Amino acid sequence: MSLLALDLGEKRIGLALSDSLGIAAQPLEVFKRTSRQADFAHVGRLVAKHGVRGLIIGLPISLNGQEGAMAAWVRDYGAALGTAVNLPVTFWDESLTSVQAEQAMREAGYNRQQMTGKLDAVAAALILQSYLESLRVKPICSPPELPSSLFSLLMLLPINPHHPEPAIIEQAADLIRHGRLVAFPTETVYGLGADALNETAVRRIFAAKGRPAYDPIIVHIAGTAELSLIAHNPPALAYTLAEAFWPGPLTLVLAKTAAVPPAITAGGPTVAVRCPAHPVALALIRAAGTPIGAPSANRFSHTSPTTAQHVWADLEGQVDLVLDGGPTQVGVESTVLDLTTAIPTLLRPGGVSLEALTAVLGPSPSPPAKWAKKRPRHCPPRLLERHYAPRTPLHLITGRIWLGWGKHWPRPRKQPMPVASASPCFSPPKMCRAW
């Protein structure tokens, strides 16, 4: 699905087209205006041919921000064209685009005669490029193994969190299928996703987050039908818990299948898997046609993001696409439950409470307090010695603090009070097991 831009002139109309991901604009053609009926019919054929989903029309605005008679004509013409081809129309400031187009063509070696018939299309491309860049955040480099047109700029795309737009989901799914990184909302926090069965793509997650290789990643699926692809002989209890809590913030640790790459599991024999309860996440997994490995979309040990803006602030230039579905609902990670032990072991508290789990699991030979006794070699996320550490320094001040003058206040100290600087961290009980 592409965007079509028009540069409307008195005698000619320049056209430019974006690629299917809405990244780059290319001049398309210039045609002579005849009548509205003929013009609209020609544009309609181009819309059908290229799968256009919207029109961007250059609007002439003076340097002082005023719209004149020409702008009024463009608005009338554009509105009628949008109605004729049944597409939404966006009017975009085209100030100086003709001058910029001519300058760009001169720099490219075109003379005045060679510009004839092309200048209006280049102007339309500049209009479209300006519009596309307004949706973006920061340019990044495309890896050499992928076509440069696939994704050359980092984008933050708003998406309906309840009814995700299929065109946007397909853009994100195409990136996942090509081994790229997409940040997306779940009901817990924003996840940084890649194809869970693609070792190279998974390693990109570790590189983007600065995540150590010993820290495994949770695999997200769209339902229990995909569980057997990830987990080897899942026990009946897994399906019981899935029926009770999926889609939802419960992660189950199970024996992995050979299809799961070692990078996902930190080289271990088990894999963590869950089904998220968010329409965007579920639509993305289904459209990609593959399970998605996704830790929280933040730098390793930093606070977990609950908005798309948090993702961008922490992963600037490290992620290919951010789907902005608004703030998340739960705000903390999923509960992690290990089902490979004789007694289900709680590895990480989260969105599903211990009481809710106990209601489904029933009485256990070992009380819940004893679930935290084991201390294996690796810890799950959120239970490391240092985690959820903001970048803002914290100053811890010891001793009495003088707050002001007055007979009820302690006298000011002659010597400065000792000040300790620390980076806040969370050190929970050591209830860890490798997964």
SS3 content of the chain, % helix, strand, coil (to 5): 30, 20, 45
CATH T-level assignment (fold) for domain 2-134: Nucleotidyltransferase; domain 5 (3.30.420)
Confidence of residue 92 (pLDDT cuts 50, 70, 90): confident
Whether the per-residue pLDDT at 382 is higher than 50: the answer is no
Over residues 46-61, the pLDDT tens digits come to 999 988 888 999 888 7
pLDDT of res. 124 = 85
Structure confidence at residue 197 (pLDDT): 96
Residues 6+ apart with CB under 8 A from 371: 343, 344, 345, 346, 431
At 284, list the tokens. 């993305």
Specify the residue for token string 């209006």: 120
Please report, rounded to a whole number, the percentage of residues in the chain having pLDDT higher than 90.
Answer: 46
Q: What is the pLDDT of residue 368?
A: 39
Identify the CATH number of the domain defined by range 139-338.
Answer: 3.90.870.10
Least confident of 342-346, 377-381, 398-402: 377-381
What are the tokens at 121? 């299309």
| Closest listed residue to residue 23, CA positions, set 181, 158, 140 | 140
Q: Indicate the pLDDT class of residue 144, thresholds 50, 70 and 90.
A: very low
Contact (CB, 8 A) for 290 and 178: no
Q: Which residue has tokens 């490798």?
A: 434
Average pLDDT over residues 13-22: 79
Over 90: is that where the pLDDT of 269 sits? yes
pLDDT at residue number 1: 58
- Model pLDDT, residue 113: 65
Tell me the C-alpha distance between 432 and 338, whole Å. Answer: 10
pLDDT level of residue 303 (50, 70, 90 thresholds): confident
Cα dist from 409 to 65, 396, 404, 419, whole Å: 59, 21, 7, 21
Q: Considering only CA atoms, which of 423, 402, 419 is closest in space to residue 411?
A: 402
Mean pLDDT, to the nearest integer, of 136-165? 56
* Nearest-angstrom CA–CA distance, 173 and 320: 12
Report the C-alpha gap between 243 and 223 in whole angstroms: 10
* Mean pLDDT for the stretch of residues 83-107: 76
CB 263 within 8 A of CB 202: yes
| CA gap 208, 297 in Å, rounded | 9
pLDDT at 61: 73
Domain positions in the chain: 2-134, 139-338
Q: Is the pLDDT of residue 109 over 90?
A: no
DSSP for 294-317 reads: --BSSSTTSPPPSSHHHHHHHSTT
Closest CA relative to residue 233, chosen from 276, 196, 269, 285: 269
Q: How far is 33 from 39, CA to CA, in rounded Å?
A: 6
Residue pair 323/280 in contact (Cβ under 8 Å)? The answer is: yes
- CA 292 from centroid of its chain's CA atoms: 13
Find out whether 209 and 298 touch, Cβ atoms under 8 Å: yes
Strands (E), 10-98: 12-18, 25-32, 52-59, 89-93
Phi-psi region of 308 (alpha: psi -120 to 50; beta: other; left: phi over 0): alpha
Contacts of 227 (CB under 8 A, 6+ apart): 221, 234, 238, 239, 242, 273
- Amino acid found at 307: T
Angle (CA) 229 287 90, round 5°: 165
Q: 105 to each of 17, 60, 163, how far by Cα in Å? A: 18, 21, 43
CB atoms within 10 A of CB 46: 17
The residues with which 90 forms a beta bridge, in sequence order, are: 56
The encoded tokens of residue 323 equal 């789907």
Average pLDDT over the chain, rounded to an integer = 79
pTM: 0.56
Give the pairing type, strands 136-139 and 25-32. Answer: unpaired
Note if the bond before 212 is cis, omega within 30 degrees: no
What's the mean pLDDT in 381-402? Answer: 58
Phi, psi of 177 (to 5 degrees): -65, -25
Q: What's the confidence (pLDDT) of residue 122?
A: 83
**Using CA atoms, how far apart are residues 234 and 226, in angstroms rounded to an integer?**
11
The pLDDT assigned to 391 comes to 60
- Identify the CA nearest to 257 among candidates 244, 280, 273: 273
